[in-house]
């Protein structure tokens, strides 16, 4: 019996049973916030990788970070041991874009805040994160939605030349960059990167190009990465 008491006492050294409700609350907050962060990443992220698969790691990473901080915060010896352990561990995660690293830092921040017992402050900070992510995404969409790729093709190269196409584009586009052109005796194809002031200019540009010749085919492609 004494051995059992000693075992329980050793395992609860530096930890008060009264802190269990607070720990459970922090655990639930950490899990919820990391889950919501994953949903934000899937919805607003611009990474070309599989965002849903990457976001599944957020909750596990946040909870693990929270548990580590909750364990070591009451012991200087454990804190020093953690530093030593991390010094010999190398992480080989395939971070392809800075955005992925940013969301990982946010996930770790959630775990740190909840593990330190600052769950309410973490919730407030998370609301701020959400507003910044949403505003940045809306601002980015407003800037990029006017930039599109344009491909023009025609099987009447003698009736449609590059100078006529550029002249038509200059009437309604604020910026024109020729990316590629292919021309032979029977056909012509030209690719541009253009910027427009609004959707009305898009329709006017299409009509202007169609007026060059009936054989002209126009293809617009969005420059954003909302997929």
- Other CB atoms within 10 Å distance of the CB of residue 19: 13
Is 64 among the domain residues? yes
Is 218 among the domain residues? yes
Residue ending a domain, choose from 143, 164, 193: 143
Is 107 among the domain residues? yes
Is 90 among the domain residues? yes
Is 227 among the domain residues? no
What residues are paired with 220 via a beta bridge?
150
Tell me how far apart the alpha carbons of residues 44 and 154 are, in angstroms, rounded to a whole number.
Answer: 38
pLDDT band (50, 70, 90) for residue 227: very low
Q: Does 170 share its domain with 93? A: no
Checking if the pLDDT of 35 tops 60, the result is yes
Q: Does 40 share its domain with 133? A: yes
140-148 long-range contacts (CB < 8 A, ≥24 apart) are: 140/46, 141/224, 144/223, 144/224, 145/222, 145/224, 146/195, 146/196, 146/197, 146/198, 147/193, 147/194, 147/195, 147/223, 148/193, 148/194, 148/196, 148/202, 148/220, 148/221, 148/222, 148/223
pTM equals 0.55
Collect all residues with Cβ–Cβ distance below 8 Å to 116 and sequence separation of at least 6. Answer: 69, 73
The residue assigned the tokens 């992480």 is 91
Q: Does 83 share its domain with 132? A: yes
Q: Does 42 share its domain with 58? A: yes
Q: Does 48 share its domain with 88? A: yes
Q: Does 170 share its domain with 138? A: no
Query: What average pLDDT is seen over the chain?
Result: 77
Q: Mean pLDDT over residues 17-36, rounded?
A: 85
Q: Does 76 share its domain with 125? A: yes
Least confident of 72-86, 150-164, 185-199: 72-86
* Domain boundaries, position 20: 2-143
Please give the share of the chain, as a percent, with pLDDT higher than 90: 5
Q: What is the pLDDT of residues 106-165, one digit of tens each?
A: 998 898 888 888 889 989 999 998 898 888 877 765 544 467 888 888 888 778 878 888
Query: Which CATH number goes with the domain that contains 194?
Result: 3.30.70.1440
Q: Please count the structural domains in the chain.
A: 2
Q: What is the pLDDT of residues 10-20, one digit of tens each?
A: 555 555 666 67
């Amino acid at each position: 019996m004494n051995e059992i008491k000693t075992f329980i006492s050793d395992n609860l050294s530096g930890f008060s049973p009264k802190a269990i409700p607070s720990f459970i609350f922090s655990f639930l907050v950490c899990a919820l916030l990391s889950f919501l962060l994953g949903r934000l990443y899937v919805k607003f992220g611009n990474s070309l990788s599989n965002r849903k698969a990457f976001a599944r790691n957020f909750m596990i990473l946040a909870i693990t970070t929270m548990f580590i901080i909750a364990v070591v915060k009451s012991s200087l010896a454990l804190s020093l041991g953690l530093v030593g352990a991390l010094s010999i561990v190398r992480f080989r995660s395939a971070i392809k874009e800075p955005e992925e690293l940013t969301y990982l830092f946010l996930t770790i921040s959630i775990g740190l805040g909840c593990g330190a017992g600052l769950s309410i402050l973490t919730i407030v900070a998370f609301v701020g994160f959400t507003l910044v992510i949403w505003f940045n995404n809306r601002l980015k969409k407003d800037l990029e939605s006017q930039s599109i790729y344009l491909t023009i093709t025609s099987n009447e190269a003698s009736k449609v030349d590059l100078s006529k196409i550029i002249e038509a584009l200059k009437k309604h586009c604020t910026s024109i960059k020729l990316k590629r052109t292919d021309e032979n005796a029977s056909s012509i194809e030209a690719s541009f990167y253009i910027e427009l002031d609004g959707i009305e200019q898009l329709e006017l540009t299409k009509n202007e190009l169609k007026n060059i010749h009936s054989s002209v085919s126009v293809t617009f492609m969005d420059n954003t990465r909302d997929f």
